[in-house]
A = this chain, B = another copy of it.
Amino acid sequence: MKKLINDPESVVAESLAGLGAAHPDLLRVFEDPRYVLRADAPRPGKVALVSGGGSGHEPMHTGFVGLGMLDAACPGEVFTSPTPDQVLAATKAANGGAGVVHIVKNYTGDVMNFEMAADLVAEDGISVNQILIDDDVAVEDSLYTAGRRGVGATVLVEKLCGAAAEAGAPLAEVVSLGKRVNEASASMGVALSSCTVPAAAKPTFELADDEMELGIGIHGEPGRERVSLRPAREVVDMLVQPVLDDLALGRGDSVIVFVNGMGATPLSELYLVFNDLRARLGTEGIAISRCLVGPYMTALEMAGCSITLLRSDDQLVSLWDAPVRTAGLRWGA
């Protein structure tokens, strides 16, 4: 295992300490229980957005804490759900009295622990609503999931709901927006290589030199099938077809596009993938209203990418363009 770490047991704590030291203007890092809080939280009267999940997907979620996105994030150990006490502490700390939204990727442990925390804070009179993200069209059930997995749409929901909450939208509106964005999003990913969880010290799975895993999960969970290596434009077609089908997208529609890097794939390849994707969408008569290209929801040092499409409209584009100022995503602020 070749990693720039000191001890597999302390990678999350040490990395978060670095994040906190690098961005004191944006966020504060708490340990025991562990969570990351927006520097100016709680914001009285603002709906608070709290997310979290296993570590190893950085910048998601800790890198999305800040103006126009999350109020708090709960990082679990690598590829491990955060505990209820982390979510509880983050929820209380982020609460500004206008309600809290939990943005939860659909993995069994995440869902259970966020719900347990929501039940506990309800006793304190804090209203919590959950937005469950399940945009991955690759598989119906999965190694860690009943139902579809939550992947790329998470980043879009956090950005768009973050903008709405920043603009003063009430709890019900933020929740309804998040659910709408999740339903209007679909994703699929591909891996060209595995990743290695520090505590496991060996690759999560093996892929032959001429193989890719299509429909991969962000923890290396199996996807739809193993196929032979092929040109990027064929990979793009294999990823985007199920997404187009799922959303019933066609001529005249417009989409927000997210080409996500899994970690080790160079940015140049992600732009190349975006280039093939826009050609394909052009052929379909689908317009691209906005796009995001880069490694925003990674799987440690996995090579590969995912494609997320979100059916867009004027409201979503306007929320997309709103200022965001986080360690991982920043514009207009």
Residue positions of A touching B, CB distance < 8 A: 2-7, 11-12, 14-19, 21-22, 55-56, 58-59, 63, 192-193, 209, 212, 229, 231-233, 235, 263-276, 278, 291, 293, 295, 298, 300-301, 303-305, 325, 330-333
Contact = CB atoms under 8 A, between A and B. Distances in A.
9 contacts: A2-B192, A2-B193, A6-B232, A6-B233, A18-B274, A21-B274, A22-B271, A264-B264, A295-B295
A4 B269 contact: yes
Nearest to A257: B22
Contact of A4 (B6, B7, B235): B235
Given A18-B293, A22-B293, A264-B263, A269 B5 contact: yes
B272 A18 contact: yes
A305 B18 contact: no
Contacts of A11: 268-269, 272
A12 B303 CA distance: 19
A59 B12 CA distance: 26
Contacts of A273: 4, 18
Contact of A276 (B6, B232, B266, B301): B6
A61 B123 CA distance: 54
A264 B192 CA distance: 13
Nearest to A193: B2
Nearest to A263: B266
Contact of A266 (B235, B266, B298): B298
B275 A4 contact: no
A73 B303 CA distance: 27
Given A18-B274, A275-B17, A301 B266 contact: yes
Which of A22, A266, A330: most chain B Cβ within 10 A? A266
Contacts of A55: 268
B272 A15 contact: yes
B275 A2 contact: no
Contacts of A266: 56, 58, 263, 298, 300-301
A18 B281 CA distance: 13
B268 A22 contact: no
Contact of A7 (B59, B229, B231, B305): B231
Contacts of A303: 2, 264, 301
A112 to B, nearest CB: 25
A271 B18 CA distance: 5
